[in-house]
A and B are shown apart, each in its own frame.
Chain A
């Protein structure tokens, strides 16, 4: 089946630094990718929708200058958490929509960010 890979799966960083998380569709082209955030023991929260070659669409309340999303190719989207603070510690998940299979959605494994 289709695979979406996220990297890194875990990252620990110091407060004030920036962290980049990659989301790759390994065997299909994804014109649309989605970024989610999950707080401990809570549901997923959609952060933004990323379309290849255009600016991401952010959900209300999500700071676009803090969470930079780039979708430069049909197989790669990146989320950069800029000037990270401890409250940004969370589990970030991406999903990719396979344009060749009526929009079927596949999830990455997730990336756990811990900001010290």
Chain B
């Protein structure tokens, strides 16, 4: 079946550091890929998405590129802020199905 694997957290960074959160997936079809973010005390929000190979999703300075050859969708940001502290979830929707498969989430902690 489909699955999403994320790097374990917490990831601890200083402000303005470079961020990478790794995400790899397995899917039977041609999935769409998503990154969701959960800020403290809030529900999940869509951060960015990519629907086909080589697409790059971007939002709020975050980027992720859909790499079919490596089945990856790593999240990156060039300079993190304290306000980016949150839990980040990688997810996919397989082309043959209609429901999301989530990774377990990666907590990011950014200190001043």
Encode contact with B along A51-68: 1 for CB under 8 Å, 0 otherwise.
000000000000000000
Listed stretches B17-25, B36-44, B74-82; interface member = B36-44
Q: Is B28 an interface residue (CB 8 A)?
A: no
Number of chain B residues close to chain A: CB under 8 A: 20
Question: Are B43 and A110 within 8 A (Cβ)?
Answer: no
Q: Is A27 an interface residue (CB 8 A)?
A: no
- A36-B43, A105-B105 as given contacts; A43 in contact with B49, CB under 8 Å: yes
Question: Are B46 and A44 within 8 A (Cβ)?
Answer: yes
Q: Is B90 an interface residue (CB 8 A)?
A: no
Encode contact with B along A87-99: 1 for CB under 8 Å, 0 otherwise.
0000101010000
Within 8 A of B (CB), among A58-116: 91, 93, 95, 102-105, 107, 110
Q: Is B66 an interface residue (CB 8 A)?
A: no
The interface of chain A, by Cβ under 8 A from chain B, is 32, 34, 36, 38, 40-44, 46, 49, 91, 93, 95, 102-105, 107, 110
